[in-house]
Structure 1
Amino acid sequence: MNLISQIAPNFVTSALLKDGNIINDFNFRKSTRKKMVVLFFWPMDFTFVCPTEIIALNQLYNEFKKRNTKIIGVSRDSVFVHQAWQNLPIKQGGIGKIKYTLVSDIKGDIQNAYDVAHPTLGIALRASFIIDENNIVRHQVINDLPIGRNISDMVRTIDAIKLHEKYGEVCPANWKNGEKTIHPSKKGLIEYYQ
């Protein structure tokens, strides 16, 4: 299902917060009010590609924070499994201290609402959504299980969304923050290529 330009589904579930506390009534919509969000799904804790993505997001946490963007991760594991994974050092297969919220989707309701369940395994595919301050999905990408995501490209995509919202300009292929943009017109495209 394509959720682009639609309101992101809300959910209430248990979550492991960045301070290490567990709550049972984490409300996605309330916790992300007036912020952009990177909502990402991973298949399972204590696996192989998943920790590399979770740690990479953690390493770029301040870049997302500078852009008024919250990161929220979702898997079918319980919050207690998330907590055990955090308590295990990275060099021993853990993820270490994470600066953002990890939620539990034991029943699979959240992955079903976002339509990111693997067709036969019942776990989430590697799906990422960038949601704006008005709860509108602006970007989504779904990778198969063996393919890790490009976390830096999430930052670039947020920059492109913010630039377009502020100036009305559009961002060409491979655009990076600070590079030339296009006024969305035939004249603007011609000027871009000159």
Structure 2
Amino acid sequence: MANRLLSVGSTFPEFKKTSVVSLEKGNEFYDITSEDHKNAGKWMVMFWWPKDFTFVCPTEIAEFNKHNEDFADRDAILIGASTDSEFVHLAWRKNHDDLRNLHFPMLADTSKSLAEELGILEANEKVAYRVTYIVDPQGIVRWVSVNDLSVGRNVSEVIRVLDALQTDELCPCNWQKGEATIA
């Protein structure tokens, strides 16, 4: 039986995973933990894609990268993740023009243990669905979005939801940063 999707209000699982953070020889890899964003007092946005060396995935990764400063301006740590190895991530970054200059880590969940705990593995291929988590500085999941394997997500919507969550107020439908909240 498949694990249930970890959802809003849950504590994000503890993890320590190797990530690709650079193309510079000797500095390619870094271990990331579930405590990093909490210790920094920051939000975490973790987005998952099914497989490296595919077609929809790099469009999403490149779009998140274009908005890396937007996440940083909101005190959010951005992490991309899949069940591919750090070596596959590194090879893909070296091979794909849009991925060479990423400003966020590519987490490698080769054991699939984190993806299993999150309940985001597709049943047949055991690859992660296109899932995005927004986690607050205390480690609580505040938003989850899941897309089918064939459909890319909307990065602007992730930013909009992060903005809304950070107001800690009631935000109406289609609310945008700077607009009035509900009193």
TM-score, normalising length: structure 2? 0.90
Q: Secondary structure at the match of 2:99?
A: coil
Instruction: Considering Cα pairs closer than 8 Å and 6+ residues apart, tell me whether 1 or 2 has the greater RCO.
Output: 2
- Partner residue, 2:143: 139
Q: How large is the RMSD of aligned CA atoms in angstroms?
A: 1.6
Confirm whether residue 114 of structure 1 aligns to residue 121 of structure 2.
no
The answer on 1:54 being equivalent to 2:61 is yes
1:172 aligns with 2:172: yes
Secondary structure of 2:60's counterpart equals helix
- Per-residue CA distance 1:112-157 (angstroms, 9 max, x = gap): 0111000111000000000011111000011110110000111111
Q: For residues 4-23 of structure 1, give each alpha carbon's deviation from its aligned partner in whole angstroms, at most 9, with x where no partner exists.
A: 11111111121112575344
Percent same amino acid among aligned pairs?
Answer: 34
Q: Which moved more, 1:9-18 or 1:128-137?
A: 9-18
CA positional deviation for 1:2: 4.0
The structure 1 segments of at least 4 consecutive aligned residues displaced by more than 3 Å after TM superposition are 22-25
Q: Secondary structure at the match of 1:14?
A: strand
Could you tell me which residue of structure 2 aligns to residue 27 of structure 1?
33
The amino acid across from 1:170 in the alignment is L
Tell me which residue corresponds to 1:42.
49
Aligned partners of 1:147, 1:86: CA distance in 2, in Å?
Answer: 22
Deviations 1:26-48 (A, max 9, x none): 32323552110111110000101
Distance 1:23 1:87, change over 3 A: closer
CA–CA separation in structure 2 for the residues paired with 1:26 and 1:180 = 37
Q: Distance in 1 between matches of 2:17 and 2:70?
A: 27
1:52-91 superposed matches below 5 A: 52-90=59-97
Q: 1:18 to 1:172 in 2, by over 3 A?
A: farther
Aligned partners of 2:101 and 2:91: how far apart in 1?
A: 11
Corresponding letter in the other structure for 1:26: I
For residues 32 and 42 of structure 1, do their structure 2 counterparts lie closer, same or farther at Cα, with a shift above 3 Å needed? farther
Highest CA radius of gyration, 1 or 2? Answer: 1
Q: Distance in 1 between matches of 2:22 and 2:175?
A: 32
Q: What is the letter of the counterpart of residue 158 of structure 2?
A: M
Aligned residue-pair number: 176
The alignment partner of 1:43 has SS state of coil
The one-letter code sitting in structure 2 at the alignment partner of 1:134 is Q
TM-score by length of 1: 0.85
Cα separation, 2, equivalents of 1:100 and 1:79: 14
1:160 lines up with 2:158 in the alignment: no
